[in-house]
Structure 1
């Protein structure tokens, strides 16, 4: 099977619109959470509340993923994505200028964040409709590379805006980026109806009830469940390892070098595998790349310095490209009418799993020390990948009989 090319992917107008708005979304979200964290710390002087503020934008993925994802298939995707941008813009402006108490700020971010999984799911489910076949996998690779790059740029830009305008000004910048993204989506994307046909379609019930029903259906389907677990569990171990980098190096500056190397490794791995590996090879690489995701972190048992730690982190994160070999199979395994919810469940489980992995390895680090905990996360990643061999190694395509 011939693989798609970047030229073919970017030749599709709708993908260019999704790509541009996605970069604005990721960069804006990074600036928003950084500014919110600084704002809370400036008002309270509490490092704990500041950290809670930084994580507040991601925690609602758990609740939203469990109870609201059916909306991603019921409602028109363009309208959902635009609504997500406008909700983000209004939230940022209220946080920046309404003078709410700290508990009010955090509550507002948590409540509005409940719908974030729905907005993300609408975008993810639209991609295979815009880019059919192997072009979808390459499109996911491009978005993953863009996500890593936008996070790095967002952190740098957020720091600059905070220094010049303060947290309120940085939040206003995020609001402006969200408005621009909303305009781009409205002008650039054609209307597409919801997959389930709207509120008058047969079987339309409460969003919560429908989300729970479809989640049970997806998790009860053995092939879908296997692909979900294969997408989640190795990343749980990676998140645990990365969470220990700051305490391992004892300084935010040196840790930033290692985490930036991990982001660069991820981008390179996604680019190389997505662009140069043909579709069949890409799927065969899923198992060795998932193993690679864990192996380099085991080297932290030898207490490497910042240079070697950066090399190991970059190599390990390059293994994240294993997920590209699962994407086509996931789309094929999921019923089209619940594709939005399936992608939302995939993302919500990944977010939840990463938080759990960071907490688990953090607890190990309290007992054994950061270096040993990182190595334990690496060993866990290797064992998880091997346990998932049956899913990560695709079944051979049967040879047609003459």
Structure 2
């Protein structure tokens, strides 16, 4: 074997890249401001889950109409799609802490009014619309503030922790919501949701420090919200890297479809061992459970560069298991496939981190608001198309087709992403080293 000169071999210390540091969940939780944001998020999300069940019960009790109940539930999707891109700019125009506080206090006030017994149905719908609409600037402000609270890889690990928390709280909220409402009644449940927003505001006051507004106007004090919305759209969709990352985020329109037709699929899987409602609950919990596992492992044990390299493969993993539903597997196999699909959904953590790296801090609120509104739109559209198609062809082929379409789009995005990820990985490494 030929001798190798010192310092020139493959294993030379001079050429070996030092291992990338991995941030632990304990390091993230030790950050006081993150704890305040995290605690407020848990409280408000748990209250929202309880309020969704309470509203469904309340509206059905008042109207005895399934259509009216579904219409009020649909109001939770409509406001962010319509008003999100416009109101999200508030997070870039005013101090983000102040935006979050104002939204929490206003939502608490609106919910207190909703909790008044005998509220007319039309007024109830209007109040629901306003409560959900205020969630758009709040979410944009929190999403834009988090990279300032957690820098570098702490942001990804913190996002993973929030993702895990969201999924766990959603499952818990829906699981215990019915029992709580049966005990308290729908009006007291709405009052309880009001208190969660007040507690969230208190956590922000106590734990999040004041920061100046990230964006200043041109000097005349008349920068319009429409101008900021157009500027945000140009920022997001005028950059090739950001367009690709947004497409990765909106890929969920394909793999969210199965949850929207879980009830008819449960009826197809019913073999007498379990009831249709129980099967439906298992199906709807499968993907969130997989996402909890995937986000925990992906955020804790994979290096920052490794997440960005594996993002495309995980995106394809979210859709590939759904294709096998065409073989009409039994319930146990379907649950395993859907859990695996949820594990792949952890790619959204890497996409989110890359998005933060590419967006200027002053425009993050508007950018996050636009992406979030589109996210809700594609989810609603995917569920709607899936429901119409399942009515005609049955749930199994529709879910399989959604998997094929999503897998094809994910493969194309992965090829586009290959050209951009090197630059973003270099930026991530530079941030971590700094």
Scaled by the length of structure 1, the TM-score of the pair is: 0.94
Say which SS state the counterpart of residue 205 (structure 1) adopts: coil
Taking a change above 3 Å as real, the CA distance of residues 287 and 203 of structure 1, as seen in their structure-2 partners, is farther
Residue deviations 1:216-275 (CA, integer Å, cap 9, x gap): 33222222122111111x200011122111111123321111211211111000000110
Give, in whole Å, the separation in 2 of the partners of 1:275 and 1:204.
45
**1:113 matched to 2:113:** no
Taking a change above 3 Å as real, the CA distance of residues 200 and 28 of structure 1, as seen in their structure-2 partners, is farther
**1:372 matched to 2:391:** no
What is the aligned partner in structure 2 of residue 35 from structure 1? 54
Give, in whole Å, the separation in 2 of the partners of 1:13 and 1:225.
34
Give, in whole Å, the separation in 2 of the partners of 1:82 and 1:58.
23
Give, in whole Å, the separation in 2 of the partners of 1:175 and 1:229.
35
Alignment counterpart, residue 237 of structure 2, candidates 178, 202, 219? 219
CA contact (8 A) 2:319 2:403 kept: yes
Structure 1 residue 42: deviation in Å?
0.8
Residue deviations 1:35-75 (CA, integer Å, cap 9, x gap): 11111111111112112222322321111223222111111
Structure 1 residue 105: deviation in Å?
0.9
Give, in whole Å, the separation in 1 of the partners of 2:235 and 2:248.
18
Alignment counterpart, residue 340 of structure 2, candidates 306, 311, 315? 315
CA contact (8 A) 2:313 2:414 kept: no
What is the aligned partner in structure 1 of residue 177 from structure 2? 158
Q: Matches of residues 1-400 of structure 1 in structure 2 within 5 Å?
A: 1-97=20-116, 99-197=118-216, 204-232=222-250, 234-250=251-267, 251-393=276-418, 394-396=420-422
CA contact (8 A) 2:107 2:134 kept: no
Taking a change above 3 Å as real, the CA distance of residues 155 and 201 of structure 1, as seen in their structure-2 partners, is farther
Unaligned runs of 5+ in 2: 1-19, 268-275, 427-434
Unaligned runs of 5+ in 1: none
Give, in whole Å, the separation in 2 of the partners of 1:5 and 1:357.
36
What's the C-alpha RMSD, in Å, of the aligned pairs? 1.8
Divergent runs of 4+, >4 A: 199-204
Structure 1 residue 204: deviation in Å?
4.4
Give, in whole Å, the separation in 2 of the partners of 1:55 and 1:150.
21
Structure 1 residue 142: deviation in Å?
0.6
Residue deviations 1:326-356 (CA, integer Å, cap 9, x gap): 2232112112211111111121111111111
CA contact (8 A) 1:241 1:378 kept: no
Give, in whole Å, the separation in 2 of the partners of 1:348 and 1:10.
29
Give, in whole Å, the separation in 2 of the partners of 1:242 and 1:60.
22
Give, in whole Å, the separation in 2 of the partners of 1:392 and 1:101.
51
Say which SS state the counterpart of residue 2 (structure 1) adopts: coil
Give, in whole Å, the separation in 1 of the partners of 2:277 and 2:75.
21
More off after superposition, 31-40 vs 245-254: 245-254
Give, in whole Å, the separation in 2 of the partners of 1:350 and 1:312.
23
Say which SS state the counterpart of residue 172 (structure 2) adopts: helix
CA contact (8 A) 1:244 1:373 kept: no
Residue deviations 1:174-207 (CA, integer Å, cap 9, x gap): 111111111111111111122114x785674122
